């Protein structure tokens, strides 16, 4: 790249992120950190509340355990975004959605109409297929490269 190519208008230029771009990136990083802390605190509060409610009712159901699992999965995603690779792999939210929809069926199966149950099961099937496709494509990309 010649010196004439290094202009602020050229995104490949090292000068592109200078000035306002660097400031904007820092603000986005701070906003992301604040949001991740809020999400982690909310998940910890949710765990505490769930455990408190289970201890008061002296009853632990499968729905309660799945809810705790969801909170832990959210905390794991926040941990990965903060301390791991600094990104959330696409398969993690898909797997989280599968558990969340499954929990909905387990908890409210008595109040769900058969048609709604069918569509919810179809949603789970689509999510599982999406997770399988993501895993297959990510495995093939890592073996090729």
Domain around 50 = 13-144
Whether residue 50 lies inside any domain: the answer is yes
- In percent, how much of the chain has pLDDT > 70? 80
- DSSP of 62-100, one letter per residue? HHHHHHHHHHHHHHHHHHHHHHSSSS--THHHHHHHHHH
Whether residue 6 lies inside any domain: the answer is no
The answer to whether residues 47 and 65 touch, using CB atoms and an 8 Å cutoff, is no
Whether residue 34 lies inside any domain: the answer is yes
Does 141 have pLDDT greater than 60?
A: yes
Q: For the segment 39-59, what is each residue's pLDDT rounded down to a tens digit?
A: 999 999 999 999 999 999 999
pLDDT (average), residues 8-16: 55
DSSP 11: T
Tell whether pTM > 0.85: no
Whether residue 28 lies inside any domain: the answer is yes
Q: For the segment 101-117, what is each residue's pLDDT rounded down to a tens digit?
A: 888 888 887 888 889 88
Q: What's the number of domains the chain is made of?
A: 1
Average the pLDDT over each of 41-50, 65-74, 86-95, 127-136 and give the range with the smallest value. Answer: 86-95
Chain centroid to Cα 22, Å, comes to: 27
Task: Tell me the C-alpha to C-alpha distance, in Å, between residue 6 and each of 23, 25, 67.
Answer: 20, 20, 52
Question: What is the spatial distance between Cα 127 and Cα 28, in angstroms, rounded to a whole number?
Answer: 30
Whether residue 3 lies inside any domain: the answer is no
The answer to whether residues 77 and 86 touch, using CB atoms and an 8 Å cutoff, is no
Q: Kindly report the CA angle at 122 between 120 and 127, in degrees rounded to 5?
A: 95
Does 130 have pLDDT greater than 80?
A: yes
- The better pLDDT of the pair 72, 86 is held by 72
Q: Which residue has the tokens 């093939």?
A: 140
Whether residue 4 lies inside any domain: the answer is no
Whether residue 113 lies inside any domain: the answer is yes
Question: What is the spatial distance between Cα 88 and Cα 80, in angstroms, rounded to a whole number?
Answer: 7
Whether residue 5 lies inside any domain: the answer is no
What confidence tier does 11 reach under pLDDT thresholds 50, 70, 90? low
């Amino acid at each position: 790249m010649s010196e004439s190519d290094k202009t602020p208008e050229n995104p490949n230029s090292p000068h592109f992120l200078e000035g306002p771009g660097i400031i904007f990136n820092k603000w986005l990083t701070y906003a992301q950190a604040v949001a991740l802390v809020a999400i982690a605190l909310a998940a910890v509060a949710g765990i505490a509340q769930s455990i408190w409610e289970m201890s008061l009712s002296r009853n632990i159901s499968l729905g309660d355990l799945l809810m705790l699992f969801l909170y832990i999965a959210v905390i794991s995603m926040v941990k990965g975004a903060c301390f791991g690779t600094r990104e959330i792999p696409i398969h993690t939210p898909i797997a989280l959605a599968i558990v969340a929809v499954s929990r909905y069926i387990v908890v409210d199966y008595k109040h769900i109409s058969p048609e709604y149950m069918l569509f919810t099961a179809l949603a789970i099937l689509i999510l599982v297929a999406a997770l399988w496709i993501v895993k297959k494509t990510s495995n093939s990309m890592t073996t090729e490269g």
